[in-house]
Amino acid sequence: MSSPPQLRLLQTSQVSPPPGTVSESTLPLTFFDILWLQGGAVERVFFYRLPCSTSYFCASVLPDLKSSLSLALQQFYPLAGKIRRSPEPDDDKYEIRYVDGDSVSFTVAEYDADFDAVSGNHARDVGSLLPLLPRLSRSDDDGVPVLALQVTLFPNQGVAVGVAVHHAGCDGSSSMRFMFSWASACAGPRSSAAVVAAPPVFDRSLVSVPRDLYSIFYRSCGQRAEWIIHKEPPADMVIASFTLKRDQIRRLKELVSATAGAMEGGGASLRCSTIMATYAYVWVCLIKARAYGSDRNAHFVFAADCRGRLRPPLPAAYFGNCIGACFVEVKAGELLRENGVVSAAKAIGKVIEEFGDDPLRGAETWPERIKSIVPQQPLSVAGSPRFRAYDLDFGWGRPKKVVITSIMRSGAMSLAESREEEGGVEIGLALPRHEMDQFGTCFSDGLEQLH
């Protein structure tokens, strides 16, 4: 029996913005941010083929990675700061505090595992990915770090860039903008991706809130911030990826649009987007894999970007959290019947339409609704095809694989654009092995029936 792969720590360091380039600052958290105070870290691992020795990597690749990170942090300096409670007496505010010299933990390691086995699409034990994840340190008197990074070399095979961002610091849109800024600075003219032109926008006065949502969210999420940073996943969990090809998505959308109209007695067909079709299909497959009873309520929760929907709208480069919660609930029996995907898509579409009309409708209830349905195993979502994760190029080419590893702890499905074709969608799931086997069967059987 072969011994398990070993991780060898090569160096640990701290990387700061260039000295003297960023003034001491305090960035208040908004109600969008404090909703995630107890949400912990969002973790991603980007895998790249880079067949080189450890000595070459440390001498020729690592210096550029660290110097470009420093430059990126100059623009995205809150990521080098810490989330803390305001020091003012009787103040219920949270903030990101940055002072000159604040830094990001940067770990470099070597891993003797099989690169292709760890970075594949197949179901594999989550334990193979855990060594690649950086750790945000726990709360101290100065607060909680926002960002931690780990670069792991698979000698003569490839490299993995692991990222952990505390969700209260920013959402996926902001963190990916930072990643593109770092990668672009590292790659220079070798980059195959467009440079992020717009610098981050930190102005909190742009966030117009019609009601005192901060106080409402604080009572639920902020009074006893437990700082749950990293929670260990179950031992029997596996992680895998599935792809909906462009043609399969087209067929799903056509099925939903045509059947929804017929179900309404020949009325107008339902306009089904790629996201609606993907959400609906995965949700139905998961309900089947978990063998839900017909009378059980099935819950689906997903986030939607509010930047362009607030009044007035926020710029796309606004840094922080600006996502609203969308809740879908139907009887499992609706999803288990012949046209279950259509029923799911209709329910999801209705919620999306309502969100578009008013993204903050019912926002006062978000924290309590989330708490109430967590015990019922809701499906949720991490990531988005809009983030273009597979375009992130440090000068080594496009990633071979991108994994949102925090789904191992959150139970969410991850979404990204397909690496192989424009218009496809890649889905990641972390489930107990028996559920993953059932899901894979439902997923493939359902696609076969589309032909």
Catalytic residues: 167, 393
Residue 247 amino acid letter: D
| Residue that has been written with the tokens 């991490």 in this structure | 382
* Closest residue by Cα to residue 32 from 147, 145, 167, 139: 167
The count of other CB atoms within 10 Å of the CB of residue 291 is 10
* Closest residue by Cα to residue 4 from 118, 163, 107, 116: 118
140: DSSP letter = B
Write out the DSSP string of 168-216: TT--HHHHHHHHHHHHHHHHGGG--S----SPPB--GGG---SS-HHHH
Which are the contacts of 200, defined by CB distance < 8 A and separation ≥ 6? 75, 76, 174, 177, 178, 317, 318, 319
Cα angle 318, 148, 206; round to 5: 15
| Residue that has been written with the tokens 């160096």 in this structure | 11
